[in-house]
Every structure is written in structure tokens, then in C-alpha cells.
Structure 1
Amino acid sequence: MKIVNRRWINKAAVAAAMAFVVMGAAMSSAAAQEKITVFAAASMKNALDAANKAWSAEAGKEVTASYAASSALAKQIESGAPADVFISADLDWMKYVSDKKLVKEDTKSNWLGNRIVLVAPKENAKPVDIKQGFDLAGLLNGGKLAMGAPDSVPAGKYGKAALEKLGTWASVEKSVAGAESVRAALALVSRGEAPYGIVYATDAAADPGVAVVGTFPENSHAPIIYPIAILSESKAPDAAAYLEYLKSAKAAPFFEKEGFTVLK
């Protein structure tokens, strides 16, 4: 009768199990590198979702987008959150991650432009002449002015700068409902929780519950520029091809449709 060494069988089983775990981890890592993860400003959602869907269909690759205020995304990148591409709604937060050596400098470029507008719930929308000294406090009539947090969220920073230039900020500062992102500010107006809000033109176009009642003069704030770059820690082999697609003439209509300007 053949005698089986049980100790040898147990060692072999353990070795096989460990090999399976290592192989599974390697496959998982490879799959993660095949997928592209994008950290993008909240105002990008509609346009970028459409572009990502088109690129995935064309390239056969998966794209996952995480949307939030540029400030929050930059802090997440600084903390080591795994991502391949960063799209900021202003130059400051791209500079923040760039100064920390977190982006591949040769991939960084100024990609899109936008405008800021004053919005109101659609049923109460009346045109507002946005000019020097316009009475925004009177329009609010005790209500809140929804906008991104003025000290961190890009749309809020642009909005504050414009109101300061127009001599209106001091009269409405205490009425500001500073939201965590421009989309959160938009939602306050759309739900009727704030009579007015300052958002990007692209966000206003994405919500049927609001109407644009005025557009801020371009000379009332710094140019609104969306920079894009691949992150230093990206291991995705298709990140460069994805970036090239987004900046191509083929993808431009997705962004122009939502109101962005494609910068040359």
C-alpha cells in the first residue's frame, strides 16, 4: 500500500494557495492599470461623461471619473489618492499639485475656458443688468446667494473677485451660502433654497430648473481656464492617448455643446 505524506500535501496546498493569491493580485494590478481614473472639476461632469463614453467605445478602455471641487481633488491627490488625470477649474489648484511635483509637466496645458453667470429658479427668472454697483443685495431681499466657497472653490473665487470688482461684494458677503462645489451651489438655486446663485455658464445649461439672468463681464475677473495634466504616479499605459483624445477636434463638440470654449 502506498503511503501518502500528509505534511508534504499540506505544504503543497499552502504553496499553491499563495501562488494563486499572488497571481490574483498581479491580475488585479494589471486591470487597474488598464483603467483610466480621472479627477475632474464638478462643472465638467456632463461634457466629460459624454466624451468618456465615446472614447471607451472607440478605444475599448474603461474610464472612471470622480467629480468634486478642484480644491478637494487637489488635496486628495496630495494625500495619495490613485488617479491618472487631473482637470482643474482654475490655474491655482493645478499649480498647487504641480508645485508638489505631482503632475507630469510635459503633459500640462490650458485646455478649456468658461464664463460665470447669475442664475435664478426658472419660474422666478427676470433679467439682471450686471454692471458696476448693481444692487444684488436688493435682489436677494434677505435670501441667500449660492456660490462655491469663495476662498477655495474656483467658481466661488471667480464670483467673489467679480463682485469685488463691481463694488457689490461688501453688501452681500454675509448673505453668501458657500457650497462645497459649483454643482452644490447650483442645486440650492434649482431647489428654490436660494433666490440667486453664481455658477459657470456650463452648469446653468445642465440644469433645467434654473435660468441665466445675467452674465458677468469678462473684465470683472481673471480668465476662467481649465488646465489638464497626467499625474506623476499614473501607471495607465493609455493615459497619454486618452489626454490626446480629449484635446482633439473629435472630442471638442462634447465640450462646446455644454458651453465650454476650447482654447487654442
Structure 2
Amino acid sequence: MRATLFVACVSLVYFSLPAYGDGAACEPITIFAAASTTDVLEEIASEYEKETACSVSTVFAGSGTLARQIEAGAPADLFLSANADWAKWIANAGLIRPENKVDLLTNQLVFIVSARDPDARLNIQQAERLRNYLSNGKLAIGDPNTVPAGRYAQAVLRHFGLGGLGDGQVVRASSVRSAVTWVARGEARAGIVYRTDAAIEGEVRIAGSIPSVDGIDITYPLALVGRTPNNAAVGFFRYLQSYDAAAVFADHGFSRISAR
């Protein structure tokens, strides 16, 4: 199968959805998904590999990067965003029908530090203590312009009076996974990332949870792209909302909004 790849992180998997499709021959499926869902989507696909006649390309990057590529004509059949605004942006471009979008997942922000720093405890409500901790290091977040986790991090920093952290103290990564890597390598002293991403990197540890803030809703919408989605894409769209998929999402630390 030949496909044009719009980001570097691409994996190819195969699965079939006889319980969710109409039994017709499968067309190739491409899902563009937030980088924070890489591991869980690959696992879900492999669970169904034995049952498949459908080929699926999975493309992972920051949600804003993916949304812009879809708007520019990238061949995505589904879009799993880590931010509702990017899904709305695609919908406003006429590429998503309202009935073909569901709010699928939620996540949580946490502070991470190097696993070699076992004593650090960070609390976003203790602004002065956090500033002191970062006085000889940097805070890694996703780029708020393209990475939803970075947008959420920026919003909570402002909410708790930390929006004035200097540009020299805050470093912005192209994806939440990159922010985790910077902390793991010691290139940043701390990071604000999703709990799900913190859990998969052995060289970092969670140093504190970040409380929910009114108006900051971490939601992962799932949508079919295009006015007339193909049957194979519809089948995968339905499967991702199933109880079977919900169990895998839960194993990776995501909370499902609903399952059917």
C-alpha cells in the first residue's frame, strides 16, 4: 500500500471489524491521532489484527499540526484530537459532519521530574516554591500553538499566577512526548504533561497532580473526516466507541467519556 506521510511518526497496522461494518470489502483507512494516543491506538489495532482484512495507516503528531494537514488536503479518514478546538476548526472548514463526531476520552495533567530526583514534590498552588525549583532549570510543555497539552499547561499556569514565568524558564516542545523526553534526558528540570505519557517513560516520575480548573476541559474528540466516509472508516469509528476499546484505553490511563 502506498501512502503519502505528512509526519515522521507513522505506523502501519491491520485489523478488521466484522461486528461493526457491513461486511463489504475494506478500503484502506488512515487515522490522524494525537501523539499522546500512540501506544493505545497501536495496541487496539493489534488486538484486531487476526480478524482483519482492512489496512490502516496511523499518523501521530500534535493535534494542531494534524488539523492543519487535514485542512490542506491530507488523506485522513478519521481524526482523534487531544483538543476540542482543533476538531471544531476542521468542522468549520466543512470537513466534519456534526453527527460524525463524538467526545471519546479524557486525560489529566501532571508535573513530571527526572526519576533521578526522588524527593521533588511540585504543587501548582505553591507558586513561589515552584519558581524556586525552576530557578536553575527549565519547565517543558508542549507548544501551545499546536499541542493541546501545551495549551492546557499554559492556561493552568496563568490560572495559578504563574503566567509570568520567563521565556527562558519555559521550553516548548513539538509534542507532549518530546516534552517527556526532555525531562528524561535532563534537558528540562520539570514538565507538565498528560498522566498517560508520564506513565510510559521509566526515566521520569510524577511529582504532583494538577487540579481541574473551570473552563479547561481536556477532551479527545473522535471524528470521521469527509462528507461521505468509507464503510471501513465507519466501522473503526464505531469500534473505538465500544466497551472492548474502552478497556484498552483504561489500561493506558485514559478515561472514556462513554462506551457502547
Q: 1:245 corresponds to which residue? A: 239
CA root-mean-square deviation: 1.8
Which residue does the alignment assign to 1:38?
31
Distance 1:35 1:210, change over 3 A: same
1:148 corresponds to which residue? 142
Q: Per-residue displacement from partner, 1:131-171 (whole Å, max 9, x unpaired)?
A: 25353221112321111012331000100111111111213
1:103 paired with 2:86, answer no
Q: Which amino acid letter does the alignment assign opposite residue 65 of structure 2?
A: A
Q: Does 1:222 align with 2:216?
A: yes
Please give the alpha-carbon distance, in whole angstroms, between the structure 2 residues aligned to 1:195 and 1:210.
10
- Following superposition, the deviation at residue 89 of structure 1 comes to 0.3
Q: In the alignment, is the contact (CA less than 8 A) between 1:132 and 1:167 conserved in 2?
A: no
Select which of 125, 129, 132 maps to 2:123: 129
SS in 1 for 2:32: strand
Say which SS state the counterpart of residue 120 (structure 1) adopts. Answer: strand
CA contact (8 A) 1:161 1:221 kept: no
* Counterpart check, 1:73 vs 2:66: yes
Query: Could you tell me the TM-score, scaled by structure 2's length?
Result: 0.84
The answer to whether the 8 Å contact 1:56/1:63 transfers is no
Mapped partners of 1:207, 1:221: distance in 2 = 29
Name the SS of the counterpart of 1:119 in structure 2. strand
Report the CA distance shift for 1:221/1:137 in structure 2 as closer, same or farther (over 3 A): farther
Q: Structure 1, residues 85-120: CA drift from partner, whole Å, max 9, x if none?
A: 001001110010000011132110111000011101
Work out the CA distance in 1 between the residues paired with 2:34 and 2:136. Answer: 30
| 1:75-224 superposed matches below 5 A | 75-125=68-118, 126-131=120-125, 133-219=127-213, 222-224=216-218
Q: Distance in 2 between matches of 1:62 and 1:55?
A: 11
Q: How many Å separate the matches in 2 of 1:58 and 1:134? A: 55
- Shift, 1:53, TM fit: 1.4
Contact 1:116–1:200 (Cα < 8 Å) also in 2: yes
- Compute the displacement of 1:36 (Å): 1.1
Contact 1:39 1:87 in 2 (8 A): yes
Change (3 A) 1:255 1:84: same
Change (3 A) 1:45 1:180: same
CA-CA distance at 1:176 after TM superposition: 1.1
Q: Which has the larger radius of gyration?
A: 1
Amino acid at match of 1:63: V
- Bigger Cα displacement from structure 2, 43-52 vs 123-132: 123-132
SS of 2:124's equivalent in the other structure is coil
Q: Compute the TM-score of the two structures, normalised by the length of structure 1.
A: 0.83
CA contact (8 A) 1:135 1:168 kept: no
CA contact (8 A) 2:96 2:226 kept: yes
Offset at residue 64 of structure 1 (A)? 1.3
Question: What does residue 12 of structure 2 align with?
Answer: none
Structure 1 unaligned segments of length 5 or more: list them. 1-32
- 1:261 matches 2:249: no
The answer as to whether partners of 1:36 and 1:63 remain within 8 angstroms in 2 is: yes
Q: Residues 161 and 220 of structure 1 are in contact (CA less than 8 Å); yes or no, is this contact kept in structure 2?
A: no
Cα distance in structure 1, aligned partners of 2:154 and 2:129: 15
Distance in 1 of aligned mates of 2:84 and 2:92: 12
- Does the aligned pair in 1 maintain the 2:123–2:130 contact within 8 Å? no
